[in-house]
Structure 1
Amino acid sequence: MARRSGSADLPLHGGRVPAWLGQRMTRLGAVIAEAIVHHYGREEFLRRLAHPFWFQSFGAVMGMDWHSSGITTSVIGALKRGLAPLSGELGIHVCGGRGRHSRQTPMELATIGARVGFDGEALAQASRLVAKVDSAAVQDGFDLYLHGFVVTDDGQWAVIQQGMNGDARLARRYHWLSEGLRTFVDTPHAAIEGQNQGEIVNLTDRRAEASRDAQLDLLRDLGPDGVLREVVTLQGRQEAAPAQPLLPHLIMPAHHDVRPKDVILRRLHGALAAAAERGPQDFADLLLVPGVGPRTVRSLAMVAEVVHGAPCRFADPARFSLAHGGKDRHPYPVPLAVHDKTIDVLKSAVARAKLGNDDKLDAFRRLDAQARQMEREATGPDLPAFIDEEIRRSHEYYGRSVFGVEPAPGAKGEQPPQKRPSARPGQGGKVFLGGRSQTNPPGETMF
């Protein structure tokens, strides 16, 4: 039977993902998915998507707002774009999306099924049933507006869909997983995210089996008019239902800034210590990617945890926003140079792994293991000091947010628009930015 893994509050936020971040989320999301599939298989990737804590951390490490409902839309969109060219190789397909895209899911499943061999019509029916359960059988005050269906070539699938409660300014995300699923109407969810909004009608709970059967009997024996008479008779005589057992839930706060209570600091210190001990030069030589410096290794340590971490590691999604910041400048502007270098390093490692050279991709596993080992004793800066330092140096990493390019401390006005930083290998690389260039001395790395 599918497991129910928890719930969380997701504040609603307006705005759009800027193109410069959306493109990077697409590349980073796809290569992280490749790494997970290479190490653990595509079924494990589906299990990760069905885990609400991991899903939120996945979006945060890519630079999206760490706490908001927008992570759902942006992650599904990034995966749909990024995995489409890799679908033949990985055997993973992302269908649906937000609004009108969600309504195209059945057609997409039928088309893909005809191409790769699974029963697309049956999965299209599954898609419709999943949406019906979360919109009709679970009446919790949230109206569905997003439906993402991720399916493998052998017909295994995960669904991520989200509803909105406009009055409460909250969203609720629902996770489904086909693994172990035997019925759509008896506790089928992998997880439900969202704040408890009071009494909920949930006819999919296994304890509601008698109620489902009784409803069918009433409709058959009494007809619609008879059912209405019974409802009128019973009004005013309802007894309070016993409280449902509480599930683990992740509370996404309304505040946008990252605060100390949002981060498990010892885990952050473990990642920082592991990155420092490995040494930037050693890590660059190991992965054969020039220009990797200590700042990039810190981000790689957090990406490594997203690839290899156990479920219990994702209770504080805010921590993963410390890898690449956020588009709204929380906890700090997205460091484009670091973000790009992280993608390049991971892509290089995955490419070599495809050729049978797993030692480079295994470096991420070792980095993650070392971080977990060192967090037991590692010390480091408190969170406000860490964030302040990142903001102070943001211009060095070509920081950018929806408010524009991050200027150097004390600079007046906004700097020229950025081009994607690119480093040339050799005795000294040049990083280009808005017509300017900086040269790295031989043997020195910037990021």
Structure 2
Amino acid sequence: MKRACAELPLHDGKAPAALFERMVRLAGAVVMAIVDEHGADEMLRRLADPWWFQAFGCLLGFDWHSSGVTTVTCGALKEAYRIYGSELGIVAAGGKGGSGRKAPEEIARAADRLGIAQGERLVYASRMSAKVDSAALQDGYTLYHHSFFFTPAGAWCVVQQGMNAECGRARRYHWIGESVADFVCEPHAAIRDLSGASRDASCPVPEVLLNMIAAEAGPNREASAALVRDDPARLLETLRAAIEGPTLFAPARHALLPVDVDLPRLGRILSAAHQAGPQDFETLLGTPQIGPKAIRSLALTAELIYGTPVSRRDPARSPRWADYAYAHGGKDGHPFPVDRRLYDQDIAVVTDAVRKARLGHTEKTEALRRLARLGG
């Protein structure tokens, strides 16, 4: 499995209705063209590439580098699926806020409707990808958007986003579910930061940056699961001892106080997890009520008891993708206001090419291929 990440400035606002309506039409036409030409699996691979996704959002005319390109582009794809249905070639579920939390229900309904045998596996992939990026990777960003795309054959990808309100930035996480080997050990091929640095200087590193999906965190993952299988009362006693006095991972006040660990709540969670008897970290992570605080407490306790270090690595690399903002302009006028005449013309060209290609007339699609070769 591949996983990648993008980091963007956190912007308010939304797409104007006239622009969003065009985004839906062009997004649908582009997706159908790619599915017809390269197959639905290739469409998922492109959505799972942060560079391609960002270029796609720019092509659709949204603000070239704001956090909204994620939610609006995914929203346009979901609306295109609502309009075109199976003609689109891929299924879209989830979205921003409450819509993202409904993704498992939407996936299950679509799987029943389309007769997808792997429906439960798709629901699991949706839930686990969100759990990994919210609890197993604690990088200072809180998830607020989760979109899940899949095909009738059961291939899938995820585009989700978290925000750090303190520094005004958002981080987007991409997953592609081809040959899933391990959800909790290096599931990413790359983590790329679109701000041009490994972490924007204005965005402070969390007091405890926890990367439980790093390869070097393997022993800690095993120890964390073992702790939950042990007597919960003994674990809570160890935690009480750990929060007495200073700690190497403390904030400026130098002490990890009881206020930092809700022991009564943690006790209830650990007791429920102990009853479930998770045999590995992935099962532990998938346990209901096990969230970031419980994972962090277990990881640090496992480090203390077993000497299994946690990982605080936050990898990122920088891409180039902004050229596509020059296709139609951007909603905020950068690099220029959206050219509606040109936009409508391009929608007509691509839509007509898809329609004619599906009827066996390939002249326009051949012309588009030749243009692509010239551009390369």
TM-score bracket, shorter-length normalisation? 0.7 to 0.9
What TM-score, normalized by structure 2, do the two folds share?
Answer: 0.75
The answer to whether residue 142 in structure 2 is matched with residue 131 in structure 1 is no
* Cα pair distance change 1:36/1:158, threshold 3 Å: same
The answer to whether residue 119 in structure 2 is matched with residue 50 in structure 1 is no
Query: What's the counterpart of residue 291 of structure 2?
Result: none
Query: What's the counterpart of residue 359 of structure 2?
Result: 355
Query: What's the counterpart of residue 206 of structure 1?
Result: 215
Q: Distance in 1 between matches of 2:228 and 2:100?
A: 32
Shift of 1:90: 4.1
SS at match of 1:334: coil
Q: Distance in 2 between matches of 1:152 and 1:243?
A: 35
Aligned partner of 1:235 among 247, 251, 275: 247
Ranges of 4+ aligned residues in structure 1 off by more than 6 Å:
237-243
Structure 2 gap segments, 5+ residues each: 250-303
Asked if the contact 1:4–1:190 (Cα under 8 Å) also holds between the matched residues in 2, the reply is yes
Query: What's the counterpart of residue 108 of structure 1?
Result: 106
SS at match of 1:148: strand
Query: What's the counterpart of residue 94 of structure 1?
Result: 92
Matches of residues 369-388 of structure 1 in structure 2 within 5 Å? 369-372=373-376
* Cα pair distance change 1:236/1:71, threshold 3 Å: closer
Q: Distance in 2 between matches of 1:222 and 1:229?
A: 15
Matches of residues 349-428 of structure 1 in structure 2 within 5 Å? 349-372=353-376
SS at match of 2:346: helix
Asked if the contact 1:176–1:191 (Cα under 8 Å) also holds between the matched residues in 2, the reply is no
Identify which range, 343-352 or 116-125, moves more after superposition.
Answer: 116-125
Asked if the contact 2:139–2:314 (Cα under 8 Å) also holds between the matched residues in 1, the reply is no
Q: Which structure would you say has the larger Rg?
A: 1
Report sequence identity in percent. Answer: 43
Asked if the contact 1:26–1:81 (Cα under 8 Å) also holds between the matched residues in 2, the reply is yes
Matched to 2:229, the amino acid is R
Q: Distance in 1 between matches of 2:205 and 2:48?
A: 25
Matches of residues 258-297 of structure 1 in structure 2 within 5 Å? none
Query: What's the counterpart of residue 236 of structure 2?
Result: 225
String of CA shifts for 1:316-340, please: whole Å, max 9, x gaps.
x221111100111111111110000
Aligned partner of 2:38 among 37, 40, 53: 40
Query: What's the counterpart of residue 173 of structure 2?
Result: 174
String of CA shifts for 1:10-41, please: whole Å, max 9, x gaps.
00111111011000000111111111111110
SS at match of 1:189: coil
Aligned partner of 2:318 among 238, 249, 252: 249
Query: What's the counterpart of residue 3 of structure 1?
Result: 2
Asked if the contact 1:139–1:202 (Cα under 8 Å) also holds between the matched residues in 2, the reply is yes
Shift of 1:198: 2.8
* Cα pair distance change 1:230/1:47, threshold 3 Å: farther
Shift of 1:231: 3.8
The answer to whether residue 344 in structure 2 is matched with residue 340 in structure 1 is yes
Aligned partner of 1:330 among 329, 334, 349: 334
Matched to 1:111, the amino acid is R
Q: Distance in 2 between matches of 1:66 and 1:365?
A: 25
Query: What's the counterpart of residue 282 of structure 2?
Result: none
SS at match of 1:208: helix
* Cα pair distance change 1:19/1:186, threshold 3 Å: same
Matched to 1:176, the amino acid is W
Matched to 1:213, the amino acid is E
Q: Distance in 2 between matches of 1:235 and 1:243?
A: 16
Shift of 1:121: 3.2
SS at match of 2:73: helix
TM-align CA RMSD: 2.4
Asked if the contact 1:106–1:121 (Cα under 8 Å) also holds between the matched residues in 2, the reply is no
Q: Distance in 2 between matches of 1:148 and 1:21?
A: 21
Q: Larger relative CO (CA 8 A, sep 6+): 1 or 2?
A: 2
SS at match of 1:68: coil
Q: Distance in 2 between matches of 1:39 and 1:60?
A: 22
SS at match of 1:324: coil
Asked if the contact 1:50–1:190 (Cα under 8 Å) also holds between the matched residues in 2, the reply is no
Asked if the contact 1:174–1:193 (Cα under 8 Å) also holds between the matched residues in 2, the reply is no
Matched to 2:219, the amino acid is A
String of CA shifts for 1:364-388, please: whole Å, max 9, x gaps.
111111122xxxxxxxxxxxxxxxx
* Cα pair distance change 1:221/1:215, threshold 3 Å: same
What TM-score, normalized by structure 1, do the two folds share?
Answer: 0.64
Query: What's the counterpart of residue 143 of structure 1?
Result: 142
Q: Distance in 2 between matches of 1:217 and 1:360?
A: 60
Structure 1 gap segments, 5+ residues each: 251-314, 373-447
Matched to 2:27, the amino acid is G
